[in-house]
Structures are given as structure tokens and as C-alpha cells.
Amino acid sequence: MPKTNPENLLKRDNNPLSDEVTLLIRIIADVASGNYTNLITHWQYLLCTYGDQHKMPQIAMELVSQTHAMCGFPKVLNSLSAMHNDYISNATNKEEAENYWQKAIVNPECKPVSILQEEVEGDVALKAIYGHTGAKRLVEKMAIIHPMMNSYMIDHAYGTVLQPRKHVFLPLRELAVVMALCYEAPIQKPQLASHLKGFLRMYRVENELMYSIPIVRPNMTEQVEEEASLPGKLVKQVLEFAPEFYNKPELSKHIQSVWGKFQERGQFSL
């Protein structure tokens, strides 16, 4: 059982995010900040609360793994090691637990693909997140700045990492990216703004029934006067959680500046 009960994290007034997503982005905040003590507390809570329901352990592993593209390999490797060690050390049958970890918790779809496939799928993901014009502009800019980094961006970051693999759909990946980028919001505002837009481009309320887990809290759609404003409310909640989850109140002004520019440009209404 977890050392502390994070249930209060989930029971927030006016939080439009589902309990599942709220817990997952809290785990991402632990990874991005390198707070491995909190990470284990929330990881244990996830295992105790959900078990294998909705494939939550697999989804958590996928989202933690993808965070290396935003926060670097060291934090993610340390996080995965801590999660693995905790899972095995608390098991009665360690051999059985290790087998389950390899076959069920670690996503069996995480296998290398061909470079050509990475390039094709990377192009599709870029356009889904940035839009056709934005993706073209980004690729052209990166090709001038650093051609090899441009290839890494297309083939790895978007062709391999930010892909809609089993259980983990792109809007959920984008919410996790937004939370991860908030940790260094003062110096990552362009990327934070881009992935805010990415979530807003891809999320559709009508797709909720097709998602492996709900993004929206039950009955929230009935409380929102205009359905079109719901995506903005969801991603804004992630932004509002960031200073608290990271215990960095100073993030608020930087995050608010990004959000304020969105509102000035009329990107969405609230």
C-alpha cells in the first residue's frame, strides 16, 4: 500500500479531468521533477486502485517512457528503475511478478520499426499535432538549423515516441507532454504552446467512448454550457495543476503568459 493516500489529489472541485488522467499526469510530474519518492507513492496508489483495470499500469509505463523526449533519459531511466524495483520487491512471488512485468506491464508493442516506417508515421503525427502548415514550417526550419536533429525529431520523437499505440491515444499523450514541459515552462514556452495546440487539434468529445480511459470526468460534459469550450478547460486544468504538482509557485506567471497569448489570439473560448 502507498505510504500516503493521494485520494485528495483526485477529489478536486471543478476538476474536469477524470481520476485516471489526473493520477497519470501527477505521475508525469513526479518523473519530470525527479521526485522518485512521490512517484512510488502514486505508482503504488495506481496499482492498488486500478490493478489491471483499463490497462492503467501499461498506460502509465508508456507515458513515463515517452517523457524522455521532453525531460531526458536519466530521469526516465531512474523512474522506470524505481517503479520496477518497487513492483518486484513488494511481490510475494518475485519470479511470477517479473514475468508479468515483462509480458503485461511493459507494452509488448514497444518494438523497433523500420526507419521508413518511422519517417512515414512521424510525418502523420507531426501533421496531427501541428497541423499541415505548422508541421511543414517546423520541418523546414529544423532542416536548416540542424538536419540530423530534424531526422531525430521526425523519426524518433514523432515516428516512434508520440504514436497512438495500444491503450495510449494521442490526446492523452499530449496532455502528458504538456505537464512534462511545464516543469521548465520559463525556457520551454514555444514547445509548451505547440503541444497545447496539439491537444486542442486532436481532442474531440465525441471520441470519449473510443478512448481506453476517459479524459473527462463523468457528467462533466453536462456541466459545460458549450461543448466547444471543453478541450480548453481540460488542458487549462493541467496547466493549473503544474505549479502545485511541482511545488513551484513561480511557474504560474510563465504558464499564464502562454495561456494569455492563446486567449488573445482567440484560439479557443472558455
Q: Give strand pairing partners of 17.
A: 216
pLDDT of residue 7: 63
CA gap 18, 222 in Å, rounded:
14
Sign of CA dihedral 12, 82, 92, 51: positive
How many C-beta atoms lie closer than 10 Å to residue 220's C-beta?
19
pLDDT of residue 5: 58
pLDDT of residue 268: 47
pLDDT of residue 222: 60
Per-residue pLDDT 10s for the chain (270 aa) are 344 456 666 667 789 999 999 999 999 999 999 999 999 999 999 999 998 888 899 999 999 999 999 999 999 999 999 999 999 999 999 999 999 888 877 765 555 566 678 888 999 999 999 999 999 999 999 999 999 999 999 999 999 899 988 689 999 999 999 999 999 999 999 999 999 999 999 999 889 989 999 999 987 766 555 556 889 999 999 999 999 999 999 999 999 999 988 777 765 443
pLDDT of residue 221: 60
CA gap 259, 257 in Å, rounded:
5
The pTM (predicted TM-score) of the whole model is: 0.92
Q: For the chain, give the number of residues.
A: 270
| 72 conformational bin, left if phi > 0, alpha if psi -120 to 50, beta if neither | left
The closest alpha carbon to 85, from 76, 94, 72, belongs to 94
H helices present in the chain, as ranges: 7-10, 19-33, 36-50, 56-66, 68-71, 73-89, 94-100, 115-145, 147-151, 170-182, 189-202, 220-223, 230-245, 251-264
